Amino acid sequence: MNVPHLISLADLSAGQITELLDCAQRLRPHALSGSSERGVLQGKSVCTLFFEPSTRTRSSFQLAAMRLGADILGFDASHSSGSKGETAVDTMRNLEAMGVDAFVVRTSIDGQLRDLIDAAHDSTRFINAGDGRSNHPTQGLLDMLTIRQHKGRDFSQLKITLVGDILHSRVARSDLHALKTLGCGEIRVCGPQALLPDDATLDGCLRIADFDEAIADTDVVMMLRLQRERMQEGLVSSLQQYHEQYGLDSRRLALAKPDAIVMHPGPMNRGVEITDEVADGPQSVIMAQVSNGVAVRMAVLKTIFGA
Ligand code: CP
């Protein structure tokens, strides 16, 4: 597969997504313990260039790179010369001059990856670890891998419900790209009207206002983080009201199929979009998503290096 950069899942075909998921599945045993893959990226240097906070994505990329034998540089934007006014492009170029071969980038600016790619050497590789509200492709891939492990490879028979702040969610956009490309049978979306995009993002999705109706008979419930900063913008009236209308608790989960799985990309607002009993309950696959993140990121690193 010739994929030198991973910017958006919209750039990948169903065959390419499936190939990446198959590769991640094969790598799973190496992802969480001692790896026989340690020679694969020996001599390569990977930098996690994060201009926004992260727990899961940055740590799992670092572990993935280590388990493939790459040198890993964790760039800390809060202690960098960015605070003195250095631009992201200049920052990247300086790190590139130190021998970094691939950048894993998180930024609040939609589309900034393209500027970095344009300014870099042709041989330098880029992976999007979340840009603005646009894309979070490796989260999309790990979500698809988790669904596949629990529900099989045929997405055409599945009903999947996404709930919450879809407007500001790069995770939702990447999940939607992947679900549509993989031919998901029915995609339902549910959330406050002010937090649902009215562009092409939701084309092909069923908008269902009432959460009880949206979750009925569904195979997968994907909860999204309520981005609390949206409350200041007046898009959500109160946490209590949000929880009552869009919070997932045991009563609501009982309306889904008995073997439905519950997903959340993290970080979770416990007691807001999801209760403890559901987040930590038997139908939750949230920690499986996190574990799959390492394998998926190993697969993506191998792919961009053509290894
Ligand atoms: N899911 C996710 O992107 O989590 P982090 O922000 O902790 O990386």
Nearest CA to ligand 1 atom 6: 54
* Ligand 1 lined by 293 (C-beta under 6 Å): no
Q: Are 165 and 233 found together in one domain?
A: yes
Q: Are 97 and 149 found together in one domain?
A: no
Amino acid letter, residue 173: R
- Dist. CA 54 → ligand 1 center (Å): 5
Q: Are 154 and 169 found together in one domain?
A: yes
Cα angle 298, 299, 305 (rounded to 5 degrees) comes to 90
Q: Are 202 and 276 found together in one domain?
A: yes
Q: Are 187 and 122 found together in one domain?
A: no
- What are the distances in angstroms from CA 71 to CA 38, 67, 102? 11, 10, 10
Q: Show the domain range for 176.
A: 137-286
Select from 51, 52, 54 the residue to mutate for testing ligand 1; criterion: most ligand atoms less than 8 Å from CB. 54
Strand 102-107 with 71-76, pairing: unpaired
Question: Do 211 and 162 touch, CB atoms closer than 8 A?
Answer: no
Q: Dihedrals φ, ψ of 121, to 5°?
A: -65, 155
Could you tell me which residue, 139 or 84, shows the higher pLDDT?
139
- Dist. CA 245 → ligand 1 center (Å): 25
Q: Spell out the residues 6+ positions from residue 198 whose beta carbon is closer than 8 angstroms to its own.
A: none
The whole-angstrom separation of Cα 285 and Cα 6 is 25
Q: What is the mean pLDDT of residues 216-226?
A: 97
Q: Are 166 and 77 found together in one domain?
A: no
- Provide the domain count of the chain: 2
The whole-angstrom separation of Cα 60 and Cα 58 is 6
Q: Are 192 and 225 found together in one domain?
A: yes
Question: Do 22 and 187 touch, CB atoms closer than 8 A?
Answer: no
Q: What is the mean pLDDT of residues 69-74?
A: 96
Q: Give 138-193 pLDDT, tens digit per residue.
A: 999 999 999 999 999 999 999 999 999 999 999 999 999 999 999 999 999 999 99
Minimum mean pLDDT range among 37-41, 156-160, 302-306: 37-41
Q: Are 46 and 129 found together in one domain?
A: yes
Cβ burial, residue 98 (10 Å; 0-12/13-18/19+): exposed
Sign of CA dihedral 281, 168, 269, 250: negative
- Dist. CA 55 → ligand 1 center (Å): 6
CATH code of 75's domain: 3.40.50.1370
- Dist. CA 142 → ligand 1 center (Å): 12
The whole-angstrom separation of Cα 232 and Cα 229 is 5
Q: Are 121 and 197 found together in one domain?
A: no
